[in-house]
Structure 1
């Protein structure tokens, strides 16, 4: 197995040979074999062990065992303890979910603070089969049927080509000791039910189940690669990327399988309400679907994707008298001038005596009114936005320049009539906006 392991690294994960590696070691047979394989391969390694304090003295004995093994192998060790049950109650989440979160937060903190490059876990072929079955039972797309990925950013799973039997045979042959986790025997957890009850039945039907599964994984990954290629070709035809991601519905709906493309593109942004997204295609303008961090907006013949605005709408920024420059939240320059002949779309000229300092930069709010330059009378800003066909994104990203809560300028768009320069103006203030 050692030679196969080395060849696997050279062929598929060669970057690991020159990297600093952090091994997640519980003390069980899988992680102990991973530790010994990496040590025998002369990798630059350290070990991270979490004591979740879920199995009383057994958890403490696991910690002592890993500590002793690392001393004998002369491998650096990072230890931590978690009051997992208490934390799970506070977060109102399952112990498994909380333990996973705590574990990987700990691992990533070690990477950041100690300059390690990758985290290695001991997931193997049997784990991948169990994941496949769990996802299949829940219902999933092609991606959920390709097992456990070999690499997720900084997390690398180097034992995926090897079965549990391979690992057990290597451990016994090389005299590797390990700790048995009693929780692995209970069917309290879903994964254990598949491991102890479902997989053995499948193996009765096919003695070469794992080899057949490995072949199937390869076929599925090839199919997924073709899907990626097709998806990118359609994306290039349908989607434009400037300040936002805009999906042309006219172009998208020319493809009969458009729902599959939407799912493929939007899943990465945390969307899960797929029926709502598919319905959005034929919804009226202004309808939207939310993920945790993004908004998908129907705007006439487009779907527009943009991040949620985290900024408090009540936040405002002051411009003091004689201030010549603003750098945040956008760039403005202010200066006195006598020449208004060179009018620019990104600049306005105002009668300085008509404004009151400090001027205020803020977002719009309900009830705002503007007297558009060149027009008679006032208009609600909401009506102005509608007439100008502003999308929700456009409105959310519009800044106003105000004097005594009166709009002087929809910055970069429209000046207010009340502050314009006239023949009676003695002090002209030029305000320029830079994108």
Structure 2
């Protein structure tokens, strides 16, 4: 196995040469074999161990075992202890998910603070099969069936081609010591049920099942790569990015014979899960939306608009004091007294400075707001009706700001000035307000 492992490293991970490598050790069979293999190759290695404190004294037994082994073999070791159950409770996570979050955050923190390059983990072929079956049972998409990646950013998994049987045989032949995790014998967790009950049946049906599975995953990975290529090409035809906002052209999208698959590929990374609702948006009414934790997808006429959910409260207000020549947040506005009126536009207005009361207030619109649009000779109009007439999308409405004086709207910024603050023949002080 050592020769096979060495060739695999040279073939698949030549970039590891002369790098500083952490080995993530649990103390179990797989990780101790990984350590034993790496000790015989010319790499600079250190060990990291996460004690999740989930098995009482047994967890500290694992920690002491690793510490003693590393001390005896002159290997640097970094040990981190976590109160995993409290973390899971605080963040409303399952214990397994909480441990995973803590594990990988620990990996990346140590990579940065200790100036190491990669973390090697001991995931192997049987782990890959179990993950495949778990994802299959949950109705995953293609990306959930292609298996555990051999490299994910700075996490490398060099044992993926090796079966649990190969690893056990190597450990027995080379007198590798390890710790048995008592939780692995329990069928409390889904992975253990698959490992103990389902996988042995599959291997009984076909003794070469793992090899056949590896071939199948290779085909799936090739298919996934083709899907990704097609997704990128079609995205360029359908989507338009404007800052943090993405507009999907529904007229172009609906020409595709399988547009739902493309939507899934494009939107999956943004945390959406209500796929039926998303597909219904395509033919739904304008204004409907679907939310993920951090994004919203809005139907607006012939477009789907993807936008981050604003963290700014609609109730948030910003004051502008008299004498302020410029404000930079949430908008860039410039104020200045002038002698004459020049050309007005959507981004420049001129108001009677004596009609203004300070502090001015910048805020978002709320239901019931009204103003007197310039040019309508004193007639009032609700902001909601004005937005409707201007055919603004929900996103555009939410991103519109109002400049107010004593609760009266001076300017629907970038759109229309209020008649009550216009320049008249009697005006002695002209204030120019410019949106930059």
- Please tell me the TM-score bracket, short chain as reference: over 0.9
Q: Find the counterpart in structure 2 of residue 237 from structure 1.
A: 237
TM-score (ref. length: structure 2): 0.94
- Which residue is 2:247 aligned to? 246
Report the Cα distance in structure 2 between the residues aligned to 1:111 and 1:393, rounded to whole angstroms.
40
Give the stretch that moved more between structures: 47-56 or 219-228.
Answer: 47-56
CA contact (8 A) 2:51 2:60 kept: yes
In the TM superposition, residue 178 of structure 1 has moved relative to its aligned partner by 1.2
What displacement does 1:299 show?
0.7
- Secondary structure at the counterpart of residue 350 of structure 1: strand
1:356-391 CA-partner distances (Å, limit 9, x unpaired): 112111111112112212223111111111111111
- Confirm whether residue 324 of structure 1 aligns to residue 335 of structure 2: no
SS in 1 for 2:297: strand
What is the CA distance between 1:417 and its match in structure 2? Answer: 1.5
- Partner residue in 1 for 2:404: 402
Q: Which residue of 1 aligns with 2:168?
A: 168
Give the 5 Å matches for 1:43-122: 43-122=43-122
TM-superposed CA distance for 1:183, in Å, is 1.2
- Measure how far apart 1:169 and its partner are: 2.9
Contact kept in structure 2, 1:353 and 1:427, CA below 8 Å: yes
Residues 47 and 77, structure 1, Cα contact 8 Å, conserved in 2:
yes
Correspondences of 1:339-378 after superposition (within 5 Å): 339-376=340-377, 377-378=379-380
**C-alpha distance in 2 between matches for 1:46 and 1:419:** 71
Aligned residues: 434
Find the aligned partners of 1:414 and 1:20 in 2 and give their Cα distance: 61
State the shift of 1:342 in Å.
3.5
How far the C-alpha of 1:327 sits from its partner, in A, is: 1.5
Partner of 1:286, secondary structure, is coil
- Three-state SS of the structure 2 residue aligned to 1:159 is coil
Distance, in Å, in 2 between the alignment partners of 1:328 and 1:405 is 20
* CA positional deviation for 1:270: 0.4
Q: CA deviation at 1:33?
A: 2.0
Where do 4+ consecutive residues of structure 1 move more than 6 Å? none
CA contact 2:52–2:81 (8 Å) conserved in 1: yes
CA distance in 2, matches of 1:19, 1:285: 54
Matched, 1:433 2:426: no
Q: Give 1:91 shift.
A: 4.5
Aligned-pair CA distance for 1:96: 1.7
Does 2:213 correspond to 1:213? yes
CA shift, 1:346, in A, is: 1.8
Could you tell me how far apart the structure 2 residues matched to 1:9 and 1:344 are?
A: 65
Q: What are the within-5 Å matches in structure 2 for residues 160-199 of structure 1?
A: 160-199=160-199
State the Cα distance separating 1:73 from its structure 2 match. Answer: 3.1
The alpha-carbon distance between structure 1 residues 160 and 320, as it changes in their structure 2 partners (threshold 3 A), is: same
> Is 1:149 equivalent to 2:149 in the alignment?
yes
Q: Distance in 1 between matches of 2:239 and 2:417?
A: 33
Q: How far did 1:89 drift?
A: 4.4
In structure 2, the partner of 1:20 is: 20
What secondary structure, in the 3-state scheme, does the structure 2 residue paired with 1:122 have? coil
Per-residue CA deviation, residues 191-225 of structure 1 (Å, 9 max, x unaligned), is 11111111111111211111111111111000111
Q: 1:369 to 1:6 in 2, by over 3 A?
A: farther
In structure 2, the CA distance between the partners of 1:323 and 1:85, relative to structure 1 (3 Å rule), is closer
- Whether contact under 8 Å (1:309, 1:396) holds in the other structure is no
C-alpha separation in 1, matches of 2:419 and 2:333: 20
Q: CA RMSD in A?
A: 1.9
Structure 2: runs of 5+ lacking an equivalent: none
Distance (Å, rounded) in 2 between the aligned partners of 1:95 and 1:401: 50
Residue 262 of structure 2 corresponds to 261
**What is the aligned partner in structure 2 of residue 129 from structure 1?**
129
Inter-CA distance 394–27: structure 2 relative to 1 (3 Å threshold): same
Structure 2 CA distance, aligned partners of 1:313 and 1:169? Answer: 64
Q: Do the aligned partners of 1:408 and 1:415 also contact (CA within 8 Å) in 2?
A: yes
The residue aligned with 1:413 is 415
Provide TM-score, normalisation by structure 1.
0.94
Sort the Cα spacing of 1:19 and 1:426 in 2 relative to 1 into closer, same or farther, 3 A.
farther
